[in-house]
Amino acid sequence: MSALLEVQDLRVTIGSTAAVRGASLAVNKGETHCLVGESGCGKSITALSVMGLLPRGAKRETTALRFAGEEIGHFGEREMSRLRGDRMAMIFQEPMTSLNPAYTVGSQMTEVLRRHRGTPRAQAVDRAAELLARVGITAPGLRLGQYPHQLSGGLRQRVMIAMALMCDPELLIADEPTTALDVTVQAQILRLLATLQKDLGLGILLITHDLGIVARVADRVSVMYAGEVVESAPTATLFAAPEHPYTRGLLSCVPVPGKVKRDEPLGSIPGVVPRMRPGFTGCGFRDRCGQASPACEGTLPRQQAGPDHELLCTLAPGWHGRNAA
Amino acid sequence: MSGAAAIEVRGLRREFRVRQGMFAAPKRVIAVDDVSFSVPAGSVLGVVGESGCGKSTLARLILGLLEPSAGDVLVDGQRLGGMDRRARARLIQPVFQDPFASLNPKRRVRDIVAMPLIAQGTIGTAEIARRVAEALERVGLSPDQGGRFPAQLSGGQRQRVAIARALVLRPRIVVCDEPTSALDVSVQAQILNLLAELRRDLGLTYLFISHNLAVVEHIASEVAVMYLGRIVERAESERLFAAPRHPYTRALLASVLTPEPGLGVPDVGLGDIMPDPANIPPGCRFHPRCPVAVAKCSTETPRPASDAAGLVECHLA
C-alpha cells in the first residue's frame, strides 16, 4: 500500500543547529500518526518541512518526500502554495496567533476556497457555514461575521479546523492543536478530530508532547529525540512493549492517577534535551541514558523489534527484560 | 484546631471591575466568591479548575499580593491584612508558572536567590552568601550555576532557581501556581519529585494550583475543585479521584487522558457553552453545562454541604 505522506531520511539544519537528523515516517490515508517528543526534539520542524514552511535560512535534505505518490521534495514555493491549504492543511497550537485579528472569521475562511478554487463568494460563504456547523459550532451564520477575539479558545480552534477543511484536504497536520486549551475543551476537540477523520478519510499527522493524547488518538506513534525518530510502532505495541530507553523513561515520567503512590517519586530522565551541532554523530540520548556504551557514539543500527516496530538503538530488543532479571 | 492550620481562609471574596468596550459601564467580575477552607500544616491542598475559575486570584489573595474585597486570610494563625511585608515574606512564598518571566534576566542566579534575604535588611553579607549556597544546593543546582544568568539555564533549572528563591527565607508555606505547566514531561517529573522531597524534609505546606489533574493527584493530600469563583467540591485526594460527587468534578476527571491506548477520547458531556466570570448564571453556576441538571438547578443556588467526606455544592449530590 502506498502511503499518503512518505518522508525518508529528512535532514534539516538551521544555522548551527541540526534540528532534524535523518527522520523517516509515513502517514497512511485514514490514519492518525502521532509524532511525540519534548520541546526542541525537531517535531515541529519536521511538520514545517513537509509543508514547505521552514524559516528562511533553513536547509532541508531528503532522499524522498512523497505526497499521494508524487515526489514533492523539489517543489518550489509556487507549487507548494498550490498544495498548501488545498490538498494538505495545517493547524497550529495557538489559534489566536494563526488567525488574522483584523478580518472576520467568514472572510478568512472563504479566502482559502476563493484562492484555490476560484469559488464565487456566496458559494464559499455557504461552504464556510456548513463546515462551522460540522465542527460543532452553533449559530454559524453569527460566527462568520465575528472577529477572532470575540471567540473563546475552544471556538477559535474549531474555526481553525473548519478552515483547514475548506478544500477537502487529504492530509491534515496538527501541531499541538490542544496544548493551549483547558482539559475539558481538549477532549472535545480531539473527539471532533477523530470523528472528522473517520467521516472524511483524512490522514492526520498529529504532533504532541502529551503521551495521554497519543495513547488515546494515534494509530501509529513515532517517538522523536534530538532530531531522530528513535522508535516507531503501532500505538498498542509502543505502550505495551516500549524498547528505546528514552521511550521507557518518558512513559515513567507521566503521573497516572492511581498508578504511582503519592510521595513516591515519579520516574524521571536526568539532564535536558541537548542542542545538536551539525556533524554530531551517534545517539543524541546517550548523555542522559542509563544504558549508554561506547557503541552509542557510532552509527546506530535500525532494528526491527517486532512486526512493524522499528527501533534506533544499539541495545537489542528485549534488553530491559534481561536486565531486570 | 486553628493552631494546626497553616492557611485558613474565611468568606474570601474578590471583585474586579472590568470595562468591556469604550462606552459600556464597567462590569463587576467576582473572581473569588465566598471561599472558606483551611489547610493543616504539612499537607498539600491542590486547587483545580479551568482557566478563569479564579484559582490564580485565590493564590494571589493568599500571598497577600491582592487585597480581598471581603473576608480574611490567616497564615499560621495571623491575619494577613496589615501584616508587615517582610514578616509575610518569612511565612509564605510563591513559585509561579513561567520561570522565564519570574526571574530578572539581568541578574545572576545567586543575586536572584539572595534578593529576599537582602530585602529583610537585617542579615549580614556572609550569612546571605551562606544561605544562598545552601538553598542552591537544596534544589540541586551547582555553585557554578549560581554565577550564571537565567538565559543560560534550561526551563527546569530556572524553575529550580525560583524554588531556591522561595525557600531561602525558610518559609512555612509555599504557594505553587502551575509550577510545572511550562515544562517538558521529563523535567516536570524532576520538579515534582523535588517539591515532594522538600515538603517532606522541611515540613512545608503547599497550596498547589494546577489545571493538570494527574499532577495534582500525585502531589496533593486534599483537592479543591473551583468553578467560576467557588469551591464546588473539596475532599481528600484519594476519595475525590475514586468517588467524585460533583458533576463538574466528574467531567474534569473524565477529560484526563491517561496514557492507556484503546480507550479513545471520552465524551465529557459539557456542551460548548463556556463559563464567563462576568456573566455568572443564576441558580447553580454550573447548570448550563451540567449533563444532569434538573429544573431547580437553574433557579435555586445550592448550599455547600459539609460532611466527613468533604464538601460538595450540588442539589443532586
Q: Please give chain B's pLDDT, 317 residues, in tens.
A: 444 699 999 999 999 988 777 777 888 889 999 999 999 999 999 999 998 899 999 999 999 999 999 999 999 888 988 889 999 999 999 999 888 788 999 999 999 999 999 999 999 999 999 999 999 999 999 999 999 999 999 889 999 999 999 999 999 999 999 999 888 888 899 999 999 999 999 999 999 999 889 999 999 999 999 999 999 999 999 999 999 999 999 999 999 999 999 899 998 888 777 788 888 999 999 999 999 999 999 999 999 999 988 999 999 98
pLDDT tens profile A20-48: 999 999 999 999 999 999 888 999 999 99
Among the partner residues B186, B218, B255, nearest to A260 by beta-carbon distance:
B218
CA-to-CA distance for A147 and A144, rounded, in angstroms? 8
- pLDDT-based confidence at residue A181 (cuts at 50, 70, 90): confident
| Contacts with A239 from chain B: Cβ below 8 Å | 259-261
Would you state the pLDDT for residue A1?
Answer: 55
Beta bridge partners of B225: B48, B233
Query: Measured between CB atoms, which of B189, B256, B263 is closest to A253?
Result: B189
Q: What is the pLDDT of residue A323?
A: 54
A77: closest CA of chain B, how far (Å): 34
Q: What is the pLDDT of residue B1?
A: 41
Q: Look at B50 and A254 and tell me if their CB atoms are within 8 Å.
A: no
In angstroms, what separates the C-alpha of B185 from chain A's closest C-alpha? 6
Q: Which set of grid coordinates corresponds to residue A287? A: 548523555
Is residue A276 a contact partner of residue B284, using CB atoms and an 8 Å limit?
A: no
Residue B82: what pLDDT?
A: 83
A236 closest CB neighbour out of B189, B213, B262? B262
Judged by CB atoms closer than 8 Å, whether chains meet at B257 and A210 is answered as yes
The kind and range of the H/E element at B207 are: strand B205-209
DSSP states of B4-61 as a string?
Answer: GEEEEEEEEEEEEEE--SSSSPPEEEEEEEEEEEEEETT-EEEEE--TTSSHHHHHHH
ipTM of the complex: 0.86
Sorted by where each starts, the structural domains of chain A and their CATH numbers stand as 5-87+167-324 (3.40.50.300)
Cβ atoms A91, A174 nearer than 8 A: yes
**Residue A308, phi-psi category: left (phi > 0), alpha (psi -120 to 50), beta (remainder):** left
Confidence (pLDDT) at A221: 97
- Average pLDDT over chain A, rounded to an integer: 91
- Looking at beta carbons, which residues of chain A come within 8 Å of B288? none
Confidence (pLDDT) at A120 = 94
Give the DSSP H/E element, type plus range, for residue A174: strand A171-175
With CB atoms and an 8 Å threshold, state whether A138 touches B200: no
Could you read off the pLDDT of A117-151 as tens digits, one per residue?
Answer: 999 999 999 999 999 988 888 889 899 999 999 88
* H or E stretch at A18: strand A17-27
Q: Which residues of A261-272 are buried (b: 16+ CB within 10 A; e: fewer)?
A: eeeeebbbbeeb
Residue A325 has pLDDT above 60, yes or no: no
Q: Determine which of A34, A38, A143, A184 to mutate to test the interface with B (most B C-beta atoms within 10 Å).
A: A184
Quick one: pLDDT at residue B2? Answer: 41
Of residues A161, A99, A101, the one with CA closest to residue A131: A161
Overall average pLDDT of the A70-96 stretch: 91
Stretch A234-247: mean pLDDT, rounded?
96
Shortest distance, CA A89 to any CA of chain B (angstroms)? 23
Integer angstrom CA distances of residue A229 from A42, A224, B115, B296: 10, 4, 44, 55
The percentage of chain A sitting over the pLDDT mark of 90, rounded to a whole number, equals 72
Q: Report the candidate in B213, B187, B184, B216 with the shortest Cα–Cα distance to residue B44.
A: B216
CB contact under 8 A, B189 and A268: yes
What average pLDDT does chain B have?
92
What is d(CA B235, CA B242) in angstroms, rounded to the nearest whole number? Answer: 11
Domains, in order of start, for chain B? 2-312 (3.40.50.300)
